[in-house]
Each structure stands twice: as structure tokens, then as C-alpha cells.
A = this chain, B = another copy of it.
Amino acid sequence: MTGSRVTRSIVAITAHSGDFVWRAGGALALSAARGDSVRVICLSFGERGESQGLWKRPHMEMDTVKRIRREEAEEAAAALGVDVDFYDLGDYPLVVSEDARERVVAALRDAQPDVLLTHVANDPYNRDHNTAHETALATRMVAQAMGHDRATTPIGATQVLMFEPHQPEVCGFVPNLLLDITPVFDRKRKAMEVMSAQHHLIEYYTELGQRRGVQARRNGASGDVLQAEAYQRVFPLVGAELI
């Protein structure tokens, strides 16, 4: 699928190590399949709040949960064809230290992303998502500053897309991009199946993909679009043509 297309750089800044799979696995796999550079930043493993499946096993310990979450996320990333970095900042609540922010800024300057993916601004169910959103916007700003770390190169006006939260309407999520993920849905499915701590979500997100696919067709996609993911843009799209 790569051809003569200019390759691009995508970075996802996520709260818990499962988020990139459930919420943006299709977009990430799609970009990877086209030869883009795709990096996922997992600020935490979601070890306390998003590992129900693991904590129900006997004699579970925090280190084991984190190890399994890491392994599963790595395996899922491999299924999607993307790279993943773990920041291990803790969850419930996620706290992003100044050092961690600097590390994200450095990663952005290194990646020079065309697109940043992250959570919505205000998820009343999960404040870690908000923290990740704020981290994305704040580090983007710092990474743009000409006077910051003169040894590295400032990034440009990177687009930011928010992926879909679990209960979109309650989070004020209004999709303005329905992304066709049909060509890579099998990869997303494979990645989801790896996530043993949250197995109950697989059917849920499979159906969500189909639902967003139906809606994509209702908004003009061709009939061969079967699955889609929904995104909401933070900044205006810049275009050379009416679309």
C-alpha cells in the first residue's frame, strides 16, 4: 500500500497501555501499513484501574500486572505494526512529572509528527484521559518553542485528533472524521485479542467498528467500508480542495 506516497509521522499519547488498541488501533495500523512512522506513548500501564482481568487471578502482584500489561501491549503493537514506549507514570491517578513532560517533548521533536492522537479533553469517568489530553497539548506547545532546547528541532503546527472515549456523548465527543479501517481491521482484531486484562471489550469494540462503518456509509463512504473509527479534530484542517 506504500507506493510513491510521502511517508508521514504519527504519534499517539495515551493514558493506559490498552488505549491505543481499543480506541485507535485501526488508524495506527493503517498508517503503519502505508509505511508511516508510528509511535505510541503509553504514559502508564493502567495497572491499577484497567487490569480487571488480571487482578481477578489469584496471588496477583503489581509488578506482575505491569509486566503482563507491557508484554501484551508490545504484542498488540507488533500486531498493528507500530512502536510503543512505556513511561510507567502510574495510573488512577496518572501524574505526569516535569521530567516526563520533557521526555514527551523530546520524543515529539525526534518524531516530528504530522498527526498527534490523544484522548478527549474532558472524560468525567476517567480523569487520567484528561491528563493525557492536557499532556499532548502542553508538550506540543513546548516542542514548538524556538527557544526550547536549541539542540533539537522545533515541530510544526501538528494536527491533533482525539480518539473515541468509551461513552462518547457524556464526554462531549462529536466525531468529525470517520476513518475507514476496513483494510486493517483484522490487525486491530488480532491486537485486541492479545489484551487479556480487558477481554470483555473485544466484542464491544468490534461492534463499535461496524457501527462507525455504517455511519461512514451514511456520510458518504462507499459501500465497501465495513469498519471505521471516529475522531474529533482539535484544530482546523488545512486543505487544498473542498472535501
Copies in the complex: 6
Is A3 interfacial (CB-CB < 8 Å)? no
Residues A189-218 near B (CB distance < 8 A): 204, 207-208, 210-211, 214-218
Is A67 interfacial (CB-CB < 8 Å)? no
Residues A50-87 near B (CB distance < 8 A): 51-52, 55-56, 62, 65
Is A169 interfacial (CB-CB < 8 Å)? yes
Q: A138-B93, A211-B207 are in contact. Are A239 and B49 (CB under 8 A)?
A: no
Point out the residue from B144, B219, B236 that lies within 8 Å of A175, measured CB to CB.
B236
Point out the residue from B128, B148, B170, B174 that lies within 8 Å of A48, measured CB to CB.
B148
Q: Can you name the residue of chain B whose Cβ is closest to the Cβ of A49?
A: B145
Contacts of A124 in B (CB 8 A): 137, 160, 234-235
Q: Which 10 residue pairs across A and B have the least CB separation, nearest first?
A: A48-B147, A49-B145, A92-B145, A157-B220, A55-B146, A221-B238, A48-B145, A169-B174, A127-B138, A92-B142
